[in-house]
Amino acid sequence: MSDYLRSVITLFAQPIRLIRTYPIDALRADFFAGLTVGLVLLPQSLAFAILGGLPPIVGLYSAMTATIIGALWGSSSHVNGGPSTTSAILTLSVLLPIAPIGSAEFVTAASMIAVIAGIIRLIMGIARLGMLVTFISDAVAVGFTAGSGLLILFNQFGPITKLSISPGASIPTIVQETVTQLTEIHWPSLIIGASTIALIYLLPYITRAVPAALLSMIIVTIVTTFLNIEQYGVRLIGDIPPGFPPLAQLPWFDIGLIGQLLNGALALAIIGLVEAVAIARAIASYTGQRIDSNQEFVGQGLANIVSGLFSGMPCSGSFNRSALAYQAGGKTALTAVISGLTALAGTAILSQVLAIIPRPAIAGTLMVAALGMVDRRGMARVWRGSRGEAAIMIITLVLTLTLPLQFAILTGVLMSLGYYLLRTATPRIEAVVPDTAFRHWDPAHGRPTCPQLLVVDLQGDLYFGAASHVEEALLRLLDQHRTVRYLLLRMHSVNHCDVSGIRALETIRRTLRVRGGDLYFVRVRAGVMYRMQISGFYEQLGPERFLDEDTAIEFLFHRVLDPAVCIYECDRRVFRECQALPKQTLPGHLTIPLLDGKLPAQINARALWEALHSPQPPAVIDVREPREFQRGHIPGARNIPLSRLLSERDTVPAGPVVLVCRSGRRSLRAAALLVERTPPPQVLEGGMLAWEAANLLEAVEQA
């Protein structure tokens, strides 16, 4: 048996695992928590069915089936599935153009779209596509949820005032129709709805033992029944047939209807999965439970399929019921199973009680729930974040209020994916300099940079989609810093690099080599290093181009950069190593030429020692600054700093001359000044560093 087939079987065997691992000591807590949630599920399922334009009994059918199936095959111990505000408003939006509200075709289409959305979710779970929910950004979720909340809020204007307002109308249309019918407001209905809202907000100050929405509905129902409010024209829920949900007669072979429902089913599947997984993860952050997104996909898929087959509506997770399950002490998925069984039993026992609930009370409850969907803190957090995410949130919100919801969701998802691709394809390329304490790197932002070395943070992956942007950005930086010959790339944010990325780096290196410089790296991750090695790029550069970050600047400063530029042509002190450097900046009209063509002859420290003790020793010219010379120099050497050598070339004695500096780099620049001498000057290979390493005698002068 293949590993994939075994994993699929594991997904469907979830109920067996739940039974085998069930802790018997959790039974009491699960029972009472499930009973509590079930009492809330009963009126909510009625409300959400009405919100979706469906008969109240359809919501109850879903509560009896989807809640139980979703719990048994899901991965979370606390997610309570069934009818929800989002799935209800989405169902209404999708089905409005297809069938009249209240018609048998509308109810059948609701069950059919639940099955199709369930199949899509099930396929995604089997295909192990749980990671796809990560592509739905918080900006889309927050914007869509807020827009849906506003739509639900305004769509309750009709039920709470008993005005004739078109179901599913846009907010401007609802406002216009409400204003034109103000004289026809049914005040008893409005008073009942407003009282329900007031009780929901006031009751938590008195008791939190019972959910405020449930308790307020009980109080309003008792009062209105006592007052016989139906005689004043207030609408009630009406007859609710008890019993187990019947099998739906679905049009399996109506290709036209399935085609019309498919787009909306996809939107229902996507947003429902995002909602369910988000709820599961939010509660898991308190419980520490590990959530399997693929298992949750399977659970939600089967829940919707069964709901549709048994005359129900599309379902998802409910945040308030799931949170209540956790707060009520529920320990396992049995809590949701018991809540579904409570809805089934309650329908049989309390059908006459449910029938007398005033519809304005349901509308008031939905209005409060709708206001809770507008996450002002979440919106503020997105707004304070990146401009791109803020724009996606606002656009999704506007589209939710103006377009059919399925198009708003899919557009938001596409914008999220587009924004993600844009960000990965345009990683930030930023020149950085040390902070004032030389401990961290800060963005340059106009601060002085080294004229020879540019340090750059590459903040993103180097794959085919980003390679061109990275290459162009680095070339622009080099164009802006025309004297720079060396580039140090900080690669700690690069997790992936492909062949296109390697080619971009090769282009940058060629540009630097033309300038007489080279490319260096620090903090290259193992995966990126492996790609460089198998492509031959690592061998092309050599291991000496990959430096340790703590010593990289020290190495480049003492071994690579031209000290003549540092001392005579640069008045900046960018790096720690620059701080003690003597600065003798030349007048603007004077420049020290670069050595062009063949390098001068070099002599090693031991050979120079022997030559100095020969009958005809060469003259040694030390081109360092006086302060450096006084600390230690070759006995008999004459100090002519490189800056003075420009004007004192004629004072250099005739005959063989050896030029000396600290590491040999300034000597090469000095050789360029004396290139026309005969015989041409020699350079001490490795400078005074090599002389000291050979343990040869030095002369020291007192300042």
Q: Where are the chain's structural domains?
A: 27-238+261-415, 429-568, 602-693
Average pLDDT over residues 268-296: 81
Write down the pLDDT at residue 301.
94
The number of CA neighbours under 13 Å toward the Cβ of 191 is: 9
How do strand 80-82 and strand 316-318 relate by DSSP bridges? Answer: antiparallel
Average pLDDT over residues 323-344: 88
Is residue 663 over pLDDT 70? yes
Among 13-17, 206-210, 635-639, whose mean pLDDT is lowest? 206-210
Q: What is the pLDDT of residues 377-435, one digit of tens each?
A: 888 988 988 888 899 899 988 988 887 766 777 788 788 888 888 888 889 999 999 99
Is residue 585 over pLDDT 70? no
Which one of 3.20.20.80, 3.40.250.10, 3.30.210.10, 3.40.225.10 gives the CATH number of domain 602-693?
Answer: 3.40.250.10
pLDDT interval class at 1 (50, 70, 90): low
Average pLDDT over residues 10-23: 90
Is residue 336 over pLDDT 60? yes
Write down the pLDDT at residue 530.
94
Q: How many CB atoms lie within 10 A of CB 543?
A: 8
| Alpha carbons 442 and 520: distance in angstroms, whole number | 19
Residues 6+ apart with CB under 8 A from 374: 145, 146, 149, 150
Write down the pLDDT at residue 654.
86
Write down the pLDDT at residue 508.
95
Q: Within the chain, how many helices (H) and strands (E) appear?
A: 30, 13
pLDDT interval class at 106 (50, 70, 90): very high
Write down the pLDDT at residue 686.
87
How do strand 546-547 and strand 518-522 relate by DSSP bridges? Answer: parallel
Phi, psi torsion values for 230, nearest 5 degrees: -65, -25
Mean pLDDT of the chain: 87
| Alpha carbons 696 and 687: distance in angstroms, whole number | 12
Question: Per this entry, what is the length of the chain?
Answer: 703
Write down the pLDDT at residue 473.
94
| Alpha carbons 346 and 691: distance in angstroms, whole number | 96
Q: How many CB atoms lie within 10 A of CB 343?
A: 27
Write down the pLDDT at residue 586.
60
CA 372 to chain centre: 25
In this structure, the dihedral spanned by the alpha carbons of residues 256, 259, 260 and 261, taken in order and rounded to 10 degrees, is 120
Structure tokens at 236: 């009630």
Cβ distance 434 to 466 under 8 Å?
no
Q: Which residues of 446-485 are buried (b: 16+ CB within 10 A; e: fewer)?
A: eeebbbbbbbbbbebbbbebbbebbbebbeebbeebeebb
Phi, psi torsion values for 576, nearest 5 degrees: -55, -40
Is residue 164 over pLDDT 60? yes
Which carries the bigger pLDDT value, residue 327 or residue 492?
A: 492
CATH superfamily of 429-568: STAS domain (3.30.750.24)
Cβ distance 76 to 330 under 8 Å?
no
| Alpha carbons 105 and 108: distance in angstroms, whole number | 5
Is residue 593 over pLDDT 70? no
Give the percent of the chain with pLDDT over 90: 39
Write down the pLDDT at residue 241.
78
Write down the pLDDT at residue 526.
93
Average pLDDT over residues 604-623: 92
Q: Where are the beta strands (DSSP E) in 416-545?
A: 428-434, 441-443, 453-459, 486-490, 518-522
Write down the pLDDT at residue 548.
94
| Alpha carbons 145 and 147: distance in angstroms, whole number | 5
Which carries the bigger pLDDT value, residue 565 or residue 41?
A: 41
| Alpha carbons 311 and 246: distance in angstroms, whole number | 6
| Alpha carbons 668 and 599: distance in angstroms, whole number | 8
Which residue type, as a one-letter code, is found at position 478? L
Average pLDDT over residues 446-475: 92
Is residue 170 over pLDDT 80? no
Among 125-139, 416-430, 490-504, 685-699, whose mean pLDDT is lowest? 125-139
